[in-house]
Amino acid sequence: MMSGNPLLRVQDLHVEFKTRRGQAPVLNGVDFEIRSGETLCVVGESGCGKSMTALALLRLIPSPPGRISGGRVMFQGEDLVQATDARMREVRGNRISMIFQEPMTSLNPVFTVGDQIGESLRLHAGMNAQAARERAIEMLRQVGIPAPERRVDEYPHQLSGGMRQRVMIAMALACRPDILIADEPTTALDVTVQAQIFDLLRELQREKGTAIMLITHDMGAVAEMADRVMVMYAGRVIEQGSTEQVLSQPGHPYTRGLIDCLPELGSSAAFGDGARPELAEIAGVVPSIWELGRGCAFRERCPHAMARCAAEAPPMFALEGPAEGEGTGAPHGAACWLHVEAPRARMKEAA
């Protein structure tokens, strides 16, 4: 069940990387919130800042060359940007867990999967070796690994790619975290196992009120899992709102384009002009960091671009309040100048 107060509040988060050409801004003022029991889906093309945002929350950005150059990550009243390394080790894997995209880079090849799942239980939950092993077997069973009593003593290279991914999920869920960040967690899995994993995540959420931040390319997974959706482009949040608001009334041409990539979700109602891109993909590519300039980062690909779009980056405009039953959820907002020009706009900047 969702609660009204944010568990995590990210404010004006900036990340930059030092390169030979200078400081490269990869996150440019990211703002969002997550509440207990809520699933926030983060969508956008590769390189838009989704995974970088997740890494920044856990202070896992490789430093140097990367660094958080501004903003706050408030977790239950504590700013994790300012937390000590020791405090972050307590938070990671215990209060906030992450399922990474690449299981082989996250699993240690010289320890059994049982040891790796049990490690956080011994460290954070104070379990002895026997209790941790039993819990590891139970977690392997829950993520759908057959013969978990045998698999618990195997090493990562003895498992298939799909099984390794499920081990990662078991590790992330073992301590029943307050927040679970899942970066494309089911990409390598077949549809049946994917459904099983989503069921498991929902069960965890029901039981413990875990907040889930699900990073995905898959708009089908968004429609199935998300309470709220956040769309990123070129290191910024360009739209967010309830799933219903964002999927049925997208406020940004980029979101419209993502939805039109999915025939079953696309419709021609957005923007009130009946226009719908003919191509089932968004033409063009995300601009490089060095090409962003001052204006809207989407302008080279946008069918609605106007003079103002090249001159000034649009702020986030509030389009509607929280959907019914969403408590104090952030309003539906989109960062697009169309909401100044179009009659649908409310001309009100989001808080």
Each residue of 62-85: b (16+ CB within 10 Å) or e? eeeebbbeebebbbeeeebbebee
User: For ligand SF4, what does the binding mask look like between residues 304 and 343, x meaning CB under 6 A?
Assistant: xx---x----x---------------------xxx-----
Give me the least distance between CB of 261 and ligand SF4, in Å please: 17
* Residue 344 found at the interface with ligand SF4 (CB under 6 A): no
- CA dist 3 and 209 (Å) reads 9
DSSP state of 38: -
47 torsion bin: left (phi>0), alpha (psi -120 to 50), beta (else): left
Instruction: Single out the residue of 298, 319, 329, 331 in contact with ligand SF4 (rule: CB under 6 A).
Output: 298
Which of helix, strand or coil describes residue 231? Answer: strand
Sequence-distant (≥ 6) Cβ neighbours of residue 56 within 8 angstroms: 13, 15, 27, 68, 73
Bridge pairing between strands 66-75 and 6-19? antiparallel
Residue nearer to ligand SF4 on the CB measure, 188 or 338: 338
Query: Is there binding between residue 299 and ligand SF4 (CB under 6 A)?
Result: yes
113 binds ligand SF4 (CB under 6 A): no
Nearer to ligand SF4, 9 or 299 (CB): 299
Q: Residue for token digits 């009130």?
A: 272
Shortest distance in whole angstroms from residue 295 CB to ligand SF4: 7
Per-residue contact string for residues 251-280; x = within reach of ligand SF4 by CB under 6 A: -xx---------------------------
Instruction: Between 54 and 231, name the residue whose CB sits nearer to ligand SF4.
Output: 231
Residues with Cβ within 8 Å of 273's Cβ and at least 6 positions away in sequence, in order, are none
- Residues of the shown chain interacting with ligand SF4 in the complex, contacts defined by CB under 6 A: 252-253, 296, 298-299, 302, 304-305, 309, 314, 336-338
